[in-house]
Each structure stands twice: as C-alpha cells, then as structure tokens.
A and B are shown apart, each in its own frame.
Chain A
C-alpha cells in the first residue's frame, strides 16, 4: 500500500502493520478504558498466545489457531460473567490464567518432547518478517473496527456512559457488547505477530489514556487516541530502522513517554481559582 512512498519492503510492511494495529487497538481502547475493561488486553493477548502455541503444537497455522482460540475466549467472557454473576473483570482474570496455563503447558511439553518452540515472536512480536496477507488482514480488521464504531456509535456511547442506564433505555446492550468482544479478539490475535502478546496492552490502553487527559467528549477521544497512536507508531518505525532498534518496544516506550507528558500537561485537571 505504501510501496510507492517507501522503497524498502521490510520498512514498508512494518509501517503499514504498525499503522493498522495502532489505529485498531487505540479505537477499541477508548471503549475498553471507559468500560473499565482494561484487563481484556491481557486476556485476549494471552488467549491468542495460547492459541498460537496450540497451533504450533498441532502443526497447524499458528495465526489461525490464535484467532480461533481468541474467539472462543471472547465468546466465553459475556456468558460466564452473566452465569457466574461475576464482574467482567473477574471473568477476564480467570480466562487469562487459563490461557496462560494452556500456553505454558504446551510450550513446556514441546520442549520436553524435544520439539523446541520459540515463543519470543509471540511474546515480543516480529514486525520485520510479516507476510503481505497478514497486513491485508490487519487492514480489514481496522476497517471493521472503524465501521463498528461508526455504525453503533450511539449504542457504544450509551454503554460507555453506564451499562445499566443504557439497558434501561432499551438499548440491546448484550448484542453490542458481544460484537465488541469479538472485534477485540480478532484485532488482538492479528496484532500478536506485530507487537507481541506483552506489548499489545500498550496499544489498547495508552493512546486512550492520553486522549482522556485532554478530551472532554467521547467523539474527540475517538479521533485523538488513534491520531496519537498513528503518529507514535510511524515515528517509532522510522526511528527503529534509522537507529537499528526493536520496533515494538520502542513504540511502547514512546507511547508511555507521551502519556507521562500528557499527565503533566493536561489542562483538564486544572483547578479553577476564579473568585467570581
């Protein structure tokens, strides 16, 4: 897509992948952070990690099994929370532990069997060895996330405000919530190869947190968060290739630095001392 601007294929693919992953995750991150579901980042990334480990164990396509396993976990979050009468955060904790256990079990078992499994690309990402199809898939899920927010904007904003009040207003809260979980699962599973299971949390949470320091309404959060993520990702890719550094951790550090700066500069928490 950006080949006409960037000659180097590796840099081009890395930039495209980071752009799509950062936009997707940051848009979803705005919803996640307002719904106090930040731990969904951990859970889905480890579900994808467990799925990828399962794929490697079975000799199947790791990305496909990562997506499938994430989908299963995403499908479990809502019904398990409803059935067990637990907060979604507690359910996410249980599913996170289960996913991690599956991943560690499979990796240890394969090592024991002498079939070494390198989990580093899943944990830390490998943005320089991506296939074109993976980038197309990321682009597709990015458009899906944008369409989801545009299509269900009023439902999403009501749910972000207060789930019970949204339900009392007659909004089909569960349907929108379940679609959200599926899109998060898909996005995380596809982004796993790029930023890795450990750093995806940064893309989900940090841009939304930065936007939250400055924005007074949700509409602007949906614009500022992806804009910040996009700029930091593009700058991170450029800096990483220019100065030979790992891409994903650099982007994560840049976003964290931007967050620290935003906390210091935020005018939203200014105390008004006007007497009249």
Chain B
C-alpha cells in the first residue's frame, strides 16, 4: 500500500475563482525521492498542505500513512514532517535552536505529556545530523536565514517522520549546505522515508533515481523517473513559456 494515496483531490480556498488543486491523483511509496517542480502558483505548496491537512481538501480522497487526512489531520501531521516555505522569527523571540528542534517532537507526544529522554536524544541527533551543534544554544531569531532554515529542517528530522515534505528548503542555503542536506535526505529515503521536495533550484540533487512531478495549474502535467542531472532540463521543456507551463506534445 502506498504511504501517500491521493485520488482525484480538489483543494479550493474561500473566495478563490477556481480550485487550486484540480482532480489530482498521486501515489507515493516508501523510499521514493520526489521532486515537485512547476511555475509559480501551479499549486505545489497547496499540494503539500493538502497532504498533511493544513489546507482542507474540498473533494476527493487522501490517505497518508493509512489515515484519512480529512478525518484525522492532527494525527497525519504528527507523522509527516513539513518544512514550510516562508517563516519569520523576530530577533527577540525567546527560543533557542535546541528548543525549536525539540518542538518537532511535541505533536507526537500528545497533549500534556512531557518529553522523555528519548525525545531529547532524537532532538540532539537531528541537530548533529544537520550540523548545527554550534547554534544549539543560540536564540533562533538572531540567526541568519540559512541557519534558521537548517534549524527548521532539524525540527522536522527530530520528529522522525514517516514522510518528509520540504517546500523550497534550500532557498537561503549556500551550495555546500544544499549538497550536505541533500545527502541527509538521501539517507532518509534509503531508510524508507519518502521525500517530497518542492524546488526551483535543482543543483546538488542526490545521485539516486528521482521521481519528477511537474505541476501546472493545479494538475500534474508530467510524472516520470529520471536522474538528478535531467531534472532541470525536463522542467525547462515542460515549462516552455516563462510563468506559463505547457505540456510537451
């Protein structure tokens, strides 16, 4: 059984002229490395937020980790990591990186339960895995955008998710950090955690078979397996007009 199973889903926002996601079906299995590309406003972020129930699906059926997303979205979010695209932390926010990483565990702990030794260990492992040990005791608001992005990735790794979704996770990172973190995600995929990554820059993708999903106006216009170095070319060909994605004939 696929870990993500979307069958003809529609997602619409209140007041929107039309549904952002339209009749979209997608199955993702364990260990897959899925790169989601496409022009702006193609519905990539909405797709991720439909999968973890942050945005309500208006029609269709979505099952993640065997759970119906429309019914138990809280439970789905406890199992699915999601690095959001835009965040801003004010410089005086009174939370250290270590505390923020630990928060990734809070959902799965359940209401009112205190973190145990294993939760602290998982947070520490995530910090080490992302390579931000030197930032652990710094307040997150005082860090650079790239460092904050790494902290948010560690926050989601600490969760030990069954699915990892990343929305432009490398937008603030330098090439070396990108390459290093791609290695971290490759390792997660090797262990069976599917990776769904929305991206616009594709340098440093890992040298493993990649499933490329190109979205256009709320639908999937291309879904195929390819190598890392082919991703950018395929997306260029799929999106022949800048800002307007056309299906290749």
25 of the cross-chain contacts (CB-CB < 8 Å) are A85-B15, A154-B103, A154-B106, A154-B109, A155-B112, A157-B99, A161-B95, A161-B100, A162-B87, A164-B84, A164-B87, A165-B152, A167-B54, A168-B54, A169-B78, A169-B103, A169-B104, A169-B107, A170-B76, A170-B77, A172-B111, A175-B111, A212-B94, A217-B96, A268-B92
Chain A interface residues toward B at CB < 8 A: 34, 85, 151-152, 154-155, 157-158, 161-162, 164-172, 175, 212, 215-218, 221, 268
Q: How far is the CA of A151 from the CA of B139 in the complex (A)?
A: 24
3 nearest A-B residue pairs (beta carbon): A170-B107, A170-B78, A170-B77
| CB neighbours of A165 from chain B (8 A) | 84, 87, 103, 152, 155
Chain B interface residues toward A at CB < 8 A: 14-15, 52, 54, 74-79, 82, 84, 87, 89, 92-96, 99-100, 103-104, 106-109, 111-112, 114-115, 139, 152, 155, 159
Contact yes or no, A157 B103, CB < 8 A: yes
| CB neighbours of B79 from chain A (8 A) | 170
Q: How far is the CA of A151 from the CA of B99 in the complex (A)?
A: 18
| CB neighbours of A169 from chain B (8 A) | 77-78, 103-104, 106-107, 155, 159
| CB neighbours of A218 from chain B (8 A) | 94-95
| CB neighbours of B115 from chain A (8 A) | 154
Known: A168-B82, A172-B74. Is A217-B95 also a contact (CB below 8 A)?
A: yes
Contact yes or no, A168 B77, CB < 8 A: yes
Residue of B nearest to A215 (CB): B94
Q: How far is the CA of A169 from the CA of B74 in the complex (A)?
A: 8
Among A154, A166, A217, A218, the most chain B Cβ lie within 10 Å of the Cβ of A154
| CB neighbours of A154 from chain B (8 A) | 103, 106, 109, 114-115
Contact yes or no, B107 A171, CB < 8 A: yes
Among A151, A170, A212, A221, the most chain B Cβ lie within 10 Å of the Cβ of A170
Interface residue from A157, A164, A170, A217 paired with B108 (Cβ < 8 Å):
A170
Contact yes or no, B95 A151, CB < 8 A: no
Residue of A nearest to B49 (CB): A168
Contact yes or no, B103 A166, CB < 8 A: yes
| CB neighbours of A152 from chain B (8 A) | 111-112
Contact yes or no, A162 B89, CB < 8 A: yes
Q: How far is the CA of A60 from the CA of B150 in the complex (A)?
A: 58
**Closest beta carbon of chain B to A84's beta carbon, Å:** 10
| CB neighbours of B96 from chain A (8 A) | 217
Contact yes or no, B95 A170, CB < 8 A: no
Q: How far is the CA of A162 from the CA of B96 in the complex (A)?
A: 13
| CB neighbours of A171 from chain B (8 A) | 106-107
Contact yes or no, B77 A155, CB < 8 A: no
Among A171, A215, A221, the most chain B Cβ lie within 10 Å of the Cβ of A171
Q: How far is the CA of A158 from the CA of B109 in the complex (A)?
A: 13
